[in-house]
A = this chain, B = another copy of it.
Amino acid sequence: MVSFECDYTEGAHEQIIRRLVETNMEQTPGYGSDPYTASAKEKIRKAIGKSEADIYFLIGGTQTNSTVIATMLNGYEGVVSVVSGHINAHEAGAVEYTGHKVLTVPSHEGKMHASDLRAYLEGFYKEGSYEHMVFPGMAYISFPTEYGTIYTKQEITDIHDVCQEFNIPLFIDGARLGYGLMAHSCDLTIKDLADLCEVFYIGGTKVGALFGEAVIFPKGNAPKHFFTSIKAHGALLAKGRMLGIQFDTLFTDDLYFKIAGHAIEMADLIKEVFTEKGYRFFKDSPTNQQFIIMPDAKMEELKSKVRFEFWEKYDETNSVVRFASSWATKKENVLMLRDIL
C-alpha cells in the first residue's frame, strides 16, 4: 500500500545507493577518518560558506540532539525549547537522561517567538531565587518545526540576537532541513543559517540518506574532544565512511537541495489534490508535511487504501491527518490520491 505516513519509509536516493555499491569492497580506516568523510566535510563547508566549520556525522536525530545538547551545556544548565519541540515531546527523555532539563516556552504552530525567549530569560534573571533553578544555557529550535512551519530570516535573527544578548548558543535541529530551505516562502539560505546559530545539523535520514545527520559548528566552535563525547554517547559509527559517502553524494551537484525541492513539489501537488476535492487544511504548511481536516468516516474508509498519519481530533466528527511527501515520493502516487479521495 502506498504510504504518505512519514518521510522515512524508503531507503536512500539511488545515487547514494550506487556509490555505496561501488565503494563497498574498498578498505578504509574507521570512525570517520576516511577520504569520503573528509570530502563530504569540505563540500558542506563550501555549501555553508564557512571554511572554518567543524563538522561531525552522527546517525539519527534523537542521538544528535542529546549528544550536542549534553556536550554544550554546563552541568547547571538546561535547554530552552517550545513545548512541542521534538526534544521535549518525542525523544523518550533522551536529553534528561544526560542530566539536563528541557525548559519550555509556548509553541506558536511549532515555532518559538523571540519575545517569549526574551521573556523567559529576563524573567529568569529577575527571579530572586534563580540560583536555585536550572539556568537556561541554550536555545533549541527546529527548522522546519514539528508542524511543518518555517521561520523567516528575521525571526531567526531575532531569536539569535536574544541568544547573543544572554550569551547562550542557538542550536537548530535540521532533521528536515532541506524541506524547510526549499519551501517557496523560505527567505533563508543554508549560509544564513550558518551565520545565525552556534550549531545546527543537516538531516540526512529524512532527506535522501539511509541515515545520518551532519552536525555543524559553523565557527569552528566544536566542544573540545567532541569525538570522544560522541563515542561516550554510543553515537560513533565504526564504518564511518557510510556517513561520509552519503553526505558527499548529497552535497555533490546540490543533490540535497534538488531532492528536497522534489518533496516540496509533491507537497504542492498533495495540496492541490486535497483542495480540488474540497478539503480544508488544519495549518498552512509550506513544507513536506500537510495537515488536512477530514471527516472521521472518510478517514476510516481511506485507511484501507493508503497509509497516512492520524494527527489529532479536530472536532466531534472530523480529524486532522498528516500526509507527508519526501525526496522519494512518486508523482503517480499523489495523483492516485485524486481517485480515492
Contacts and interface: CB of A to CB of B under 8 A. Distances in A.
A134 B24 CA distance: 32
Given A78-B96, A98-B99, A210-B239, 13 more contacts: A9-B28, A17-B21, A63-B234, A76-B224, A90-B133, A91-B231, A92-B228, A92-B229, A93-B134, A94-B234, A96-B101, A131-B225, A205-B239
Interface in A102-157: 102, 128-129, 131-135
Nearest to A96: B101
Interface in A1-38: 2-3, 5-6, 8-12, 14, 17, 20-21, 23-30
Q: How many copies does the complex hold?
A: 4
A47 interface: no
Interface residues of A, number: 78
Interface of A: 2-3, 5-6, 8-12, 14, 17, 20-21, 23-30, 59-64, 66-67, 70-71, 74-76, 78, 89-94, 96-102, 128-129, 131-135, 205-206, 210-211, 224-225, 227-229, 231-239, 242, 307, 309-310, 328
Given A17-B21, A17-B24, A135-B225, A92 B8 contact: no
A8 B238 contact: yes
Contact of A9 (B29, B60, B78, B307): B29
Given A27-B3, A71-B75, A328-B25, A66 B234 contact: yes
Contacts of A224: 74, 76
A237 B101 CA distance: 22
A61 B30 CA distance: 14
A309 B228 CA distance: 21
